[in-house]
Amino acid sequence: LKCCFFLQGVRDFSMPVGLDSKAQVDLVVVGSVAVSEKGWRIGKGEGYADMEYAMMVSMGAVQEDTPVVTIVHDCQVLDIAEELLGDHDLTVDYILTPTRTIQTNCTRPKPQGIMWHKAISVSSEMLGKIPILKTLRWREKQAGKDVTLQDEHPALADTSRAAVSDRKVMAANPQPGAAPGSAPVGRDPANPKSEGSDTTTTVYVGNLPGSLRVSQLKSALRELQVVPAALTWQGAQHRAFLDYREQGAAHRALCSLQGLSLGGNALRVELAKSHRNKG
């Protein structure tokens, strides 16, 4: 019950932090299943703490001297073989127990960024749960980095089919006489709320560069796995409106697009005015 109240509070009162945020983290606290006095740590095996730290490194939110602390029971302080650790594993600088404070003086390097190919570090399931991780992956892919996940290799054919399906859903369907790529799908461009507003949640995307094509925006949405049910393109006004049938999908799009740059412009992303005070 306490967890439910906490999550509801996060949804109601938190503010998304984009990758371009200037946030600085002074102290990192992580949980552990076991930890050694040398600072070597074992978690639950899902890699979330390691990945979250690597994301903060990528954002510039933590530095090499940012202390990492774990809080455990005395019985969780054990000898751990270094062979169990990988390059993506996070080490700790301090261990707090009910009876001791241990300074590890650990010299093993901490993760210096996301290691996309490590199955234990990043998985497709994580990308679905953490929208900002998808944004970071998209940026690094644009920069030429290999961001293929290990669990994607046997499913490349399925991924290709999904991309084709997305293209069909998002294909422009101009009205007669409209300029190519400028008309919305099932929407009045002068009034984005005119159709489906009772059942959809609309995300406003602004500050689009004048040189950006609608196909480039659609490509980014596919890469981030936040394809809308309908897209209204208003390139002359440097904006677009994305319709989602589920409110959760709209919020995932908000988080994924926060801090994203297209054509050199940092996008302005928020719920459309008619949806800001709902739910």
**Which pLDDT score, from 0 to 100, does residue 81 have?**
84
Q: Which residues of 14-28 are buried (b: 16+ CB within 10 A; e: fewer)?
A: eeeebbeeeeeeeeb
Whether the Cβ atoms of residue 228 and residue 243 lie closer than 8 Å to each other: yes
The proportion of the chain whose per-residue pLDDT surpasses 90, expressed as a percent, equals 21
Q: Which residue has the higher pLDDT, 106 or 137?
A: 106
**Which pLDDT score, from 0 to 100, does residue 180 have?**
40
All structural domains of the chain, each given as residue ranges with its CATH number in brackets, are 7-113 (3.40.50.10420), 201-271 (3.30.70.330)
What's the pLDDT tens digit per position in 1-38? 445 556 677 677 777 676 777 788 999 999 999 999 99
Give dist(CA 53, CA 73) in Å, integer: 23
Average pLDDT over residues 206-215: 88
Token output for 42: 């074992």
Residue 98 backbone dihedrals phi, psi, to 5 degrees:
-60, -20
Q: What's the chain's average pLDDT?
A: 75
Question: What is the 8-class DSSP label of residue 45?
Answer: S
pTM: predicted TM-score of the whole model, two decimal places: 0.51
Whether the Cβ atoms of residue 194 and residue 187 lie closer than 8 Å to each other: yes
**Which pLDDT score, from 0 to 100, does residue 249 have?**
85
Query: Which residues lie closer than 8 Å to 110 by C-beta, 6 or more apart?
Result: 53, 57, 64, 68, 90, 91
**Predicted confidence (pLDDT) at residue 186 exceeds the cutoff of 80:** no
Average pLDDT over residues 233-247: 89
Average pLDDT over residues 50-67: 85
Average pLDDT over residues 80-109: 89
Average pLDDT over residues 152-163: 43
Average pLDDT over residues 133-148: 79
